[in-house]
A and B are shown apart, each in its own frame.
Chain A
Amino acid sequence: MPVLWIALIVLAAAAIAYVLARRSALASAQGDVRRMHSLPSYYGWHAFILTALPALLLMLAWLIFQPLFIENRIASQLPAEATATATSQQLAMRDVRSVADGLQAAISSGAITPEEMEAFTNDPSTLRARLGEAGVALGGNVTSETLEAAQNFRALASTMNLTMTVLVIGVALAGAAIALKQVRPDFWARNAVERTVMGLLIFASAIAIFTTISIVFSMVFETMNFFRQYPWQSFFFGTTWSPVFHGNSQLGIVPLLWGTLYISFIALLVAVPIGLFAAIYLSEYASNRVRSFAKPLIEVLAGIPTIVYGLFALVTVGPLLRDYFAQPLGLGSSGTSVMTAGLVMGVMIIPFVSSLSDDIINSVPQSLRDGSLGLGATKSETIRQVVLPAALPGIVGAVLLAASRAIGETMIVVLGAGAAARLGLNPFEAMTTITVKIVSQLTGDTDFNSPETLVAFALGLTLFVITLGLNIFALYIVRKYREQYE
């Protein structure tokens, strides 16, 4: 039975349990709500939760572990040569799965009758063509071992599915029965419901932790795989990046890191002065009217999707720089370049610098300004010699946050910076970044056992560590600074 149907049945049962429990609670108190511990609807909700929650949790756990279990069972039935290495086992299992899925699709659509199935068991070579006719494409010819495994796979899956259906619905009904039995006027239904709700709230806030853990784990495992196939010294210190998809690639991170840092540096060169001066002007000079339209407009820059900046770099900025700067100066003839990506990314991170600096400048106590102005300093002298030094740690924090944003940015560099890994100083040449290479190594046909694909996870982990470090440091500075004046 499809999962959706089971879930709907469970929910329907829970709804019925709600009505029954509420009614029986009222009846048990002879319709007098004052004699009950909780409001009648809490008895209903208690029944609802007891019916739906354990059953749905069981179903979820089952759905997660069933594929693992089936895979193990089937893998143990495969011939020894297929399970010799992890790679060959994965490949064999993929075949089995696709054959099983194909058969399932063909049978459920009626293209292959169960009787025909018998014939295939004796002669699996015709299966591919037959499935092809039925609209299911298979990658290769089916061997008799694979077919047998696929048949077992299907049988096991359907048995387990049936068991799950029975168990889940059974648990739901048992839950409903228990809840209905518990209904008494002196049962603390509200407390029971609130405990469950509290549990759900805690679970929801723990999802952030699960996310972080799964980010780290998903990358650490594959990175370890990568370092098993490729020496880590060559990865961290290699100065050549030339992936070759039939082995013997050189996968040094240095040129990518250089491109990333160079582009981010140019972006900060654009964004820091503009953002900082904009923040100073908005917080110290601007009238309320100017502030009320200029600040949101600058923040629009942060709300524009990065793909828009990417297209802007590709279509407008790149050709412009090439035709009016790079070619006349003899510096190169490439539309995609460090300069293109850096300038556009600089525009994108202006609001990150300006908004945070604005907040920080505003939180410098007025008394400092008053003191300086009272001594006869002009406004700009006050700002330069009193306000900015006081706000400096916070501004450094803002710049670091902007830097981490620039380092992790993907679409602008994918479209604006180019794909050539290069160690050079000429800003009008195409270079590439860590994020660009993650995209290019992981899109298209990928083989998750070759170092050329796995390197993307190592790159991702490096990127994650760099940006996380920058963030934590920046937040630490900002927070420490804020406390100073509070």
Chain B
Amino acid sequence: MSDISSHRGSSSLLVADARTKRRNAAEARFRSYGVAAIAIALIALVTLLISIFGNGASAFRQTFVTVPITLPAETLDPSGNRDPAEMAKVTTIGYGNVLKAGVTAAVREAGVVPEGMADSDIAGILSQEAPAQLRAMVLENPELIGTTVETHVLAHGRIDGFFKGRVTMESAQRDSNVTPERLQLAQAMTEKGLMSSGFNWGFVTMPDASDQRPEAAGLGVAILGSLFMMFVVVLLSLPIGVAASVYLEEFAPKNRWTDVIEVNISNLAAVPSIVFGILGLAIFINFAHLPQSAPIVGGLVLTLMTLPRIIIPARAALRAVPPSIRDAALGVGASRMQTVFHHVLPLAAPGILTGMIIGLAQALGETAPLLLIGMVAFVRDYPGGLFDPASALPVQVYNWTQRSDPAFVERASGAIIVLLVFLICMNAIAIILRRRFERRW
């Protein structure tokens, strides 16, 4: 017969025995796993953000060349009547020559040209976009012709990369797009104030640029396209989402049909986004013949994708309105429809709007479905409406990652910063809405 007291444990309550120590150590270990897990998750978040901001922050600064350029009337306005329509016949090649001559003269005069650098090599410090910039400036203000103006044009991407540490003298040796002399010249020009670095508004306003001129690539078209798409999404998904959640939460009888709808909505919320892209391609483009790359198609696809993600929080917000409100309204003789639209819906509105904004933020960052409906196309014209070809912010990021020039990695990260700023603003609005207007009953 064994006796309880025959179990030889610790004789004292104050001194832990080996088994207790082991158990306590296991406890501490288990706890530290939890802390480690949270730490890893947060470190991953921080690393992600640091990597993106570290790569992308420099996209907001750009190197510009500032030199006085004389605009000769005989080449830029051969007819001599300063008519912009006539002057538009002079192509960027003509302006390129003017610019080349002007810059060469200016740097020779400033005495910054390295020993033995040929004149033909000097113009290489300019962006291929620079003649177009000069042309746009002159066409906007024809009176400039014949005068000497201080011109502010983009420097070549490699020169810009040199100041950002991406291009070095060694890499320039092997690079066909830049020579070490040009880098020396750029260095000397900076000291003389002929070249400077400034905030890059063009990054936010200009359209995309070709593979050869990363320095001129901007997000203008992509931001506009994204805004157009969000417009479509709000216009469609707000009324439809609210109507659907009102019906399901307030009116739907409990039967098979509504069960099917509910299961459907929760499953749609988890369908991979790319499947919605296939849907858009098959239905809107191949069947309905809507134009490719158009914000209307993107907006429709994103609407279908966001709807379930809006309906779920909207229903929760409606459910949170206490039944006493409904009872009171019904009690004074309102119809059920009046009860819902005059009392329940206004009280649930902050919650519905919060869910709506968060759903919109998700839609704004969605990329995969847009790739399939042709939003990857290279678009340089600003879209004027919902049916014009456009790009979208996240798609622009993808687009730039597919280019070979490393300068586009900086641009892509910069574009993500812009995207994240939009998302943070939207989420902040959602949080403020929730804090200020959400009622607890």
Contacts and interface: CB of A to CB of B under 8 A. Distances in A.
Given A205-B252, A218-B282, A285-B31, A308 B361 contact: no
Interface string B24-50: 101101110111111011101101100
A404 B275 CA distance: 13
B283 A218 contact: yes
Interface stretch (A20-28, A128-136, A373-381, A421-429): A373-381
A415 B289 CA distance: 30
A294 B45 CA distance: 12
A301 interface: yes
B248 interface: yes
B159 interface: no
B367 A307 contact: yes
Contacts of B423: 303, 305
Contacts of B38: 277-278, 281-282, 294, 298
B405 to A, nearest CB: 14
A334 B427 CA distance: 37
B265 to A, nearest CB: 5
A202 to B, nearest CB: 6
Given A201-B246, A311-B416, A448-B286, A468 B409 contact: no
A301 B44 contact: yes
A204 B240 contact: yes
Given A273-B37, A303-B423, A463-B275, A201 B247 contact: yes
A168 B328 CA distance: 43
Nearest to A302: B362
Given A280-B34, A306-B365, A309-B48, A378 B372 contact: no
Interface string A289-316: 0000010011011011111111110111
B71 to A, nearest CB: 30
A194 B40 CA distance: 55
B55 interface: yes
B41 A380 contact: no
B240 A207 contact: yes
Contacts of A160: none
B23 A208 contact: no
B437 interface: no
A201 B244 contact: yes
Interface string B405-421: 00001001100100110
Contacts of A201: 243-244, 246-247, 251
B332 interface: no
A130 to B, nearest CB: 23
B37 A281 contact: yes
B244 to A, nearest CB: 4
B273 A408 contact: yes
Interface string B283-321: 100111100000000000000100110010000000000
B41 A298 contact: yes
Q: Which of B30, B277, B419 has the most CB of A within 10 A?
A: B30
A308 B274 contact: no
A261 interface: no
Interface stretch (B172-180, B187-195, B394-402): B394-402
A305 B261 CA distance: 28
Given A308-B52, A347-B44, A460 B252 contact: no
A315 B50 CA distance: 12
Contacts, number: 252
Contact of B397 (A273, A311, A354, A463): A311
A209 interface: yes
B268 interface: yes
A383 interface: yes
> Which of A205, A401, A410: most chain B Cβ within 10 A?
A205
A198 B250 CA distance: 11
A208 B261 contact: yes
Interface string B366-387: 1110011010100000000000
Interface in B44-84: 44-45, 47-48, 51-52, 55
A456 interface: yes
A273 B419 CA distance: 31
B279 interface: yes
B36 A205 contact: no
B244 A411 contact: no
Interface in A430-486: 435, 438-439, 442-443, 448, 456-457, 460, 463-464, 467-468, 471-472, 475
A300 B304 CA distance: 24
A9 interface: no
Interface in B217-247: 239-241, 243-247
Contacts of B18: none
Contacts of A464: 271-272, 275
Nearest to B367: A307
B107 interface: no
16 contacts: A67-B289, A198-B251, A205-B243, A207-B244, A209-B260, A212-B267, A219-B275, A275-B37, A298-B45, A306-B367, A307-B394, A307-B416, A311-B413, A378-B23, A378-B26, A379-B27
> Closest 4 CB pairs between A and B?
A408-B272, A281-B34, A305-B365, A218-B282
Interface of A: 64, 67, 97, 190, 194, 197-198, 200-209, 211-212, 214-215, 218-219, 221-222, 273-278, 280-282, 285, 294, 297-298, 300-301, 303-312, 314-316, 347, 350, 354, 378-381, 383-384, 401, 404-405, 407-411, 414-415, 435, 438-439, 442-443, 448, 456-457, 460, 463-464, 467-468, 471-472, 475
Given A203-B243, A298-B45, A305-B366, 9 more contacts: A209-B261, A275-B41, A301-B44, A307-B367, A311-B413, A407-B272, A410-B272, A442-B281, A471-B267
